[in-house]
Amino acid sequence: MDQVDRTTGAPGAPSNGLRSYGVFMNVETDERTPAAAGVARPGEPDAAVRQEPAVRLPEAVPTPAADVAATGALPATRAGGVLELSPRIAARQARLRSTRGVRGAFNRVGFRFGLSPGEQRDADRREVIRTALPAVYQVAVLGVKGGVGRTTVTAALGSTFAKVRSDRVVAVDLGPHFGDLANRVAHNKYGLTLRDLVHANNIEVFSEVLGYTATNAADLCVLASSWRIEAADPFSGEEYGRAFEILRRHFNLVLVDCGAAVLDSAVTKVLETSSAVVIVTSSTYGGLNGAVATFNWLRARGMQHLIAKAVVAIVDQHPGRRSVDLGAVEDLFEEAGQPTFRIPFDSHLAEGRLVDQRLLERQTRSALEDLAAGLASEFPMRRGEPR
């Protein structure tokens, strides 16, 4: 992948940390020179007495600055078998001040209250979302029934990733028949589409790829599907394979709105090149049955590796009372090992227009960050970074 303009975010989160967003630190082995590590040089008279293993865990040694720069890891110390932030990082966190609620009001007139528990949870969750990616990571967004909120989730989730992370994120509309993703993100000023990108010649640098996309206020790029009647033929698997070869060189995170036609060859190719899936369902019996059918369809095709990293997004599309006990549904999916996230009803999302995160309710933004963190907690680590 080309050198990106935006640096990647902070590393690592626990793989099972969908509900607790602590940050794990690296414990580096001692790679000093033999003399510095306490091992005598050959020929020294007390070599036999002083010799120690060349690689050992120090009792309390900060992560070397060079390693921090190389991996993006936060400095940590090991004291009494417990990993702790270095004093420098701990002091920096201690200086954070609350900006919300009563604490924020007092801080604006000179007090020095730290982060509230809610603000600390938000900060920890965003740290997970910023997990650095060693290579391109593609997420397929599936929903076998139309109207369940799949495109809305793709646009809102992609915007959440793009706003919180510092690298390149793109959302791709694979809908073969007048896909709606561009209407929820942004429109290319020349009307260019994913198919135009695939059939272009000599696409080498990011600025050339960018010409086929549009970008919203959150910095999310979008590749639209065609709205031209003469170009409404389904996108083929071979075409998406060529598209992915371009995207993987220029983007860190790719989200694909797969449309409802999961049997299309293009969707098959997306699943073959994806690392995770989001199963989107509405809060109705029909939508939930569709989500279960999607899992069964993936299992029947031997895609257990995607099921292992699948999350369920339940979109509450109507305010007021529901006919479905969503708590019970969440419990059922959780018991089956599928993390489940509920996107509450939001009048801005229900409008069906461009998704602007600034117009979302706070609880909606929080739910979308929970969903993003659930996916990010399964991101692969860079070499040498433990979960």
In a domain, residue 65? The reply is no
Task: Let me know: does 326 contact 316? Beta carbons within 8 Å.
Answer: yes
27, amino acid identity: V
Instruction: Return phi, psi of residue 52, to 5°.
Output: -130, 165
Could you tell me which residues are beta bridge partners of residue 30? Answer: none
pLDDT tens-digit readout, 158-203: 999 999 999 999 999 997 667 899 999 999 999 999 999 999 988 9
Tokens of 93: 């966190």
In a domain, residue 47? The reply is no
Residue 296: count of CB within 10 angstroms of its CB:
10
pLDDT given at position 275:
97
What's the pTM value of the predicted model, to 2 decimals?
0.71
In a domain, residue 1? The reply is no
Cβ-count burial 284-294 (b if 16+ within 10 Å, e if not): beebbebbeeb
In a domain, residue 44? The reply is no
pLDDT tens-digit readout, 66-105: 443 343 343 444 344 444 444 444 445 545 555 555 555 5
Instruction: Return phi, psi of residue 339, to 5°.
Output: -55, 135
In a domain, residue 108? The reply is no
In a domain, residue 215? The reply is yes
pLDDT given at position 383:
56
pLDDT tens-digit readout, 330-374: 888 888 889 999 999 999 999 999 999 999 999 999 999 999 999
pLDDT given at position 260:
78
Task: Let me know: does 383 contact 67? Beta carbons within 8 Å.
Answer: no
User: Which residue from 7, 273, 8 is spatially nearest to 130, judged by alpha carbons?
Assistant: 8
Identify the CATH number of the domain in which residue 276 sits.
Answer: 3.40.50.300
pLDDT tens-digit readout, 27-64: 333 343 334 444 444 444 444 444 444 444 344 444 44
> How do beta strands 76-79 and 82-85 pair?
antiparallel
CA distance 150 to 258: 9
255 Cα distance to chain centroid: 9
Number of domains in the chain: 1
CA distance 247 to 206: 9
In a domain, residue 182? The reply is yes
- Of 46-55, 220-229, 288-297, 337-346, the one with minimum mean pLDDT is 46-55
Instruction: Return phi, psi of residue 386, to 5°.
Output: -75, 155
Task: Let me know: does 149 contact 317? Beta carbons within 8 Å.
Answer: yes
Q: Which domain holds residue 278?
A: 135-376
In a domain, residue 2? The reply is no
Taking the C-alpha atoms of 356, 19, 168 and 251 in order, what is their torsion angle to the nearest 10 degrees? -130
